[in-house]
Amino acid sequence: MIRCGIGYDVHRLATGRKLILGGVEIAHSCGLKGHSDADVLSHAIADALLGAIGAGDIGQHFPNTDESIRGMSSIEILRDVNALLTKNKARAINVDATILAEAPKIAPHIPAMRKIIAQAISLDESRIGIKATTNEGLGAIGRSEGIAAMAIATVEMVGRDRRVRPKTNGRPSGPSLPS
């Protein structure tokens, strides 16, 4: 069985912080504010993967009240989410994501992001899509107050999921013929 999940995240930009997107540190005048490294792209992908297996969201698994994960690398979060998928007899098939940022230029860093994310969730790089766009100067993202990311993940359930198969009372399943 194939399942899809969606993820969205946004973090505020602040001075004195490193800008980390998809596990890549990008030179910029400010970085994203958050409890972890505030890697908005990795967070959106983690939420998409968790959503696909019906396992809640990143806030439930990595609460910002947990001091042990302060400053944690979000690539570590992706590795943990991937382990949870395996535990739930699921594996990612592909991930596609878009970063919304007015600045800096994201495109030169995309190959490195794909490589790091692919390794974290045990996927071939060709199955990771990362795109970037500006918000055309509109709204908070357009005013460079923050950076957002959205992601979709497709996941294959490896084990048999009997719960979704209705009982057929001995008759073969499939479309019924006119009687």
- Point out which residues bind Zn ion (CB under 5 A): 9, 43
- Collapsing DSSP to helix, strand or coil, 9 comes out as strand
CA distance to 65, 75, 81, 133, per residue, from 114 (Å): 30, 12, 17, 16
Please identify, using beta-carbon distances, which residue of 72 and 84 lies nearer to Zn ion: 72
For 169, residues 6+ apart whose C-beta sits below 8 A from its C-beta are none
Query: Least separation, in Å, of the C-beta of 113 and Zn ion?
Result: 16
Residue 33 CB, shortest distance to Zn ion, in Å, is 10
What's the sign of the alpha-carbon dihedral 102, 138, 117, 63? Answer: positive
SS3 of the chain: helix, strand, coil, percent, to 5: 30, 30, 40
Residue 170 Cβ vs Zn ion, minimum distance, rounded to whole Å: 50
Question: By C-beta, is 10 or 93 nearer to Zn ion?
Answer: 10
Of 25 and 156, nearer to Zn ion (C-beta) is 25
Spatial distance between the Cα atoms of 155 and 78, rounded to a whole number of angstroms: 14
Smaller CB separation from Zn ion, 47 or 102: 47
Cα separations in angstroms, 79 against 7, 60, 74, 100, 138: 16, 16, 9, 24, 34
Q: Which is nearer to Zn ion, 43 or 109 (CB)?
A: 43
CB of residue 49 to Zn ion, shortest distance in Å: 14
Least distance to Zn ion from the beta carbon of 22, Å?
13
